[in-house]
Structure formats: structure tokens, C-alpha cells
Amino acid sequence: MKKQNWVGVDVGSRELVVAVEQNGKRGEALAFENTTEGHRKLIHFITKRGASARVVLESTGVYGLDLALALERAPRVEVMVANPRAISHFGRASLQRSKSDVLDAEIILEFAKRMPFEPWVAPAREILDLRAISRRMEALTKTATQEKNRLHASNQSAELSEVVREDIALSIEHLAMRIAQLRDQALQLIASHPHLRDAFGHLTSVKGIAEVAGIQILAELAILPKDMNVRQWVAHAGLDPRQYQSGTSIHKPARISKTGNTHLRRALFMPALVAVQHEPHVAAFYEKLLGRGKTKMQANVAVMRKLLHAIYGMITHEQDFKGEKFFAIGA
């Protein structure tokens, strides 16, 4: 008789805490790195000696996607990506009074055993492809910026060889060509899938979201679980405000958590700046925040957060951007 392992995984940004039960016996929780190599080691551990495994993790949408994909593709492994709220309710019903990564993994394991197991369906191939193209564009853009900085620095030095300057300039030109090719491929991919094409059209109806930003934002949002609400989107982007307190008398101003998807947060930054310049309703919201004493950076982050709320509504209700819904001028 083949062995059946039950596995609960608490997913963190850097570490996976794993609780495993085999033939009714539960060992101590284990930890694996949340990396490609860590995923490989986890799969090897739960399927060794020909065992099969049913694995449950939460649908955080931030750190668990690559793990879920690796598990879904592995032989003898079934994976369920559960709603965090369902697991939280299950934990309370189980009278869980303390909280730690190990205890969370144990609760997820118990949830896996007791609740109906619903195998996870991976995102469509076109969505995974779009995210891969978008992130490659982002990486090449970062490299191009570094090369431009090198070229600027080289122009300030009379000692640097002209050969080096020409090579840096050629590198910048080559990178721009590759980025443009990837952009065109992304646009072709979006155009060939109605659900992506429609969402992209709504996104780019915002003054400030051009093609490249639209590709990047769509790539990060399309891959999220469909049952995530707008607050979870904001938390996923790391744009949710967090309070910081020290002692009993020092209350620092709230700051964004930055615990989330840095790709999405970066993709929203420039569109927010441009929208403030070109969209009157966004500009009015921004100016009102400045009038309340917010710094320019704080106001721009607030625009990013509110813009994400608007995008959620636009995609959910299949509508283009309406400035009056974003902020009523004179309010």
C-alpha cells in the first residue's frame, strides 16, 4: 500500500514552515527556503519512497505562487490553495489561541485533513507567459538605467577610453531594442486573449498608464486568485498603511508596509506621478492631501493606493476609468 502524506505549509517571504502527517503519525515541523531549490527539496521530502502527498497552503498571492506551481507540476502531489479566511475561521473553531509559523502550519495540516480537498488549478499559460515577459522587461529596463548612469559618468571623465563609451552606448541601444521586442510580444499576447485585451483596455484608459505600465500592472494582477478583494490587492502590493508605536508616548506616522509585491508597487509609481499631472480628478485628490500636510511622497503613495482601488473596480465591473468616481473635485 502506497503511503499518503498530508502536508500543511505556512508560506513566508523567505521560509516555508511545513507540517507533515504520514500514516497517522505527525513529526516535528520542518523549514525549507522559499526558493526554487527549497521547493525541490520539499517535494523530494514529501514524495520519498514512492509516497503521494496532498498539500495545502494559503492563497496569499504574494509568496506562494511559485511553490504552488512547482507542487502542481510534481508527480504524486496534489495541491490545494485555500482561502486564508477559511483557514483563519477553521483555526478559531479549533480554539487556536496562540500564533506562530509552526502552529499555523499545524492548523493548515489539520484543515487539509478535515475539509474537502479542492485541487488547485494553475493560472492559464498566457497569464504566466505575460508575467514572465513583463518581469524580463523590468529587469532589462533596470540594466539599461545602470548603463545610462555609467555613460553619464564616463562623459564626466576625460580619462575613460572612447572605446568604452562606445561600448556602453551600444549596450544601451541593444537593450532598448530587446525591451521594445518584448513589449511587442506582450501586446500581441494580450491582443490574442479577450480577457487580457479587455482588462488592458480598461487599465490604459487611465491618463498615466501607458502601454509598458499597463503590461506590468496587468501581468501582476491577472495572476492573483479571483476571490481576492480590493483590500487584499492593496496588501498584496504592500500599500496598506501600518502603524508604528514605541513605548507609551511615541507614535510615529503610519507608513506603508512594503510587505508585498514590489513589482506591482513599482509599476504603479510612475503612473501615479503622471496621473497627478494629467488627470484633473487625481490632481485634485493629490492637492487635497498636500493641503492636509502630507508630504509629496506620502500623497503620491496615497494616489497609488487609490488608483489600485480604481483599477479593481474597473476590471471587476468592466468599465473604463471615470475621474469623478476616483475623486469629486471640490469635495
Chunk the chain into consecutive blocks of 10 residues (it has 331) and report each block's average pLDDT, rounded to whole numbers: 85 90 84 94 92 86 81 94 80 68 88 89 92 95 95 77 89 97 98 97 96 96 85 85 48 55 92 96 96 94 96 96 91 66
For residue 80, give the CATH number of its domain. Answer: 3.30.420.40
Look at residue 198 and tell me if it is in a domain: no
Look at residue 130 and tell me if it is in a domain: yes
Residues 59-94 as b or e (16 or more Cβ within 10 Å = b): bbbbbbbebbbbbbebeebbbbbbebeebeebbeee
Q: What is the pLDDT of residue 18?
A: 93
Look at residue 129 and tell me if it is in a domain: yes
User: Could you tell me if 328 and 236 lie in one domain?
Assistant: yes
Look at residue 81 and tell me if it is in a domain: yes
Question: How many independent structural domains does the chain possess?
Answer: 3
Q: What is the pLDDT of residue 62?
A: 58
Look at residue 197 and tell me if it is in a domain: no
User: Could you tell me if 27 and 110 lie in one domain?
Assistant: yes
Q: How far apart are CA 218 and CA 71, in angstroms?
A: 25
User: Could you tell me if 24 and 70 lie in one domain?
Assistant: yes
Task: Write down which residue in 68, 88, 114 finishes a domain.
Answer: 114
Locate cell 500500500: which residue? 1
Task: Answer whether 6's CB lies under 8 Å from 21's CB.
Answer: yes
Domain that holds residue 136: 124-192
Total-model pTM: 0.76
Task: Write down which residue in 95, 114, 133 finishes a domain.
Answer: 114
Question: Which three three-digit cell numbers place residue 9?
Answer: 505549509
Look at residue 119 and tell me if it is in a domain: no
User: Could you tell me if 163 and 252 lie in one domain?
Assistant: no
User: Could you tell me if 222 and 324 lie in one domain?
Assistant: yes
Q: Could you tell me the CA-to-CA distances from 11 to 28, 53, 316 in Å, in that order?
A: 17, 17, 28
Q: How far apart are CA 45 and CA 236, in angstroms?
A: 30
Look at residue 38 and tell me if it is in a domain: yes
